[in-house]
Structure 1
Amino acid sequence: MDVQTKLNLLEDMLEIEAGTLEETISLETLESWDSLAAISLIALVDEHFEKRLTAVQIKEFKTVQDILDFME
């Protein structure tokens, strides 16, 4: 899966406008990045990437790129 497709999945999950999410964006600056988004991210990576994501791992994510790296 290419980077743009992953970004599209994240934009969908976070309910933000398509094409606005960039790898360098800090998660704490995203209004929609909250505990519900974290739970949604766990479900997203499980469904699309068949990976298990923990709360500890999510706390380590600082940027969108950190999430993309995990999706590899």
Structure 2
Amino acid sequence: MDLQTKINLLEDMLDLDQGSLEVTTLLDSLPDWDSVAAISLIALVDEHFDKTISGAIIKELKTVQDIINIME
């Protein structure tokens, strides 16, 4: 899966317009980055990348690139 597809998945998950996110986007700057988004991210990564991530890992995430790195 290429980078843009991964970003599109995140934009869909966060209900953002396409093109809203960049790899440098700070998660704290997103109004919808909250506990519900964290749970959605856990489900997204499990479903599309067959990986399990914990709440501790999510707390470490600072940017969209950090999420992309988990998807690798």
Do these two structures clear the TM 0.5 threshold for a shared fold by scoring above it?
yes
Structure 1 stretches of 4+ moved >4 Å: none
What residue in structure 1 maps to residue 58 of structure 2?
Answer: 58
2:52 maps to amino acid: R
Whole-Å separation in 2 of the counterparts to 1:28 and 1:37: 12
Show structure 2 runs of 5+ residues with no match: none
SS at match of 1:21: coil
Whole-Å separation in 2 of the counterparts to 1:8 and 1:32: 16
What residue in structure 2 maps to residue 22 of structure 1?
Answer: 22
| Alignment root-mean-square deviation, CA | 0.3
Identity %: 64
Q: TM-score, normalised by structure 1?
A: 0.99
2:47 maps to amino acid: E
Question: Displacement, 1:20?
Answer: 1.1
What whole-Å deviation, never above 9, does each CA across 1:13-66 have from its counterpart, x for those lacking one? Answer: 000011110000100000110000000000000000000010000000000000
Question: Displacement, 1:5?
Answer: 0.1
SS at match of 1:31: coil
Paired residues in the alignment total 72
Whole-Å separation in 2 of the counterparts to 1:22 and 1:67: 11
Whole-Å separation in 2 of the counterparts to 1:31 and 1:4: 21
Whole-Å separation in 2 of the counterparts to 1:36 and 1:20: 19
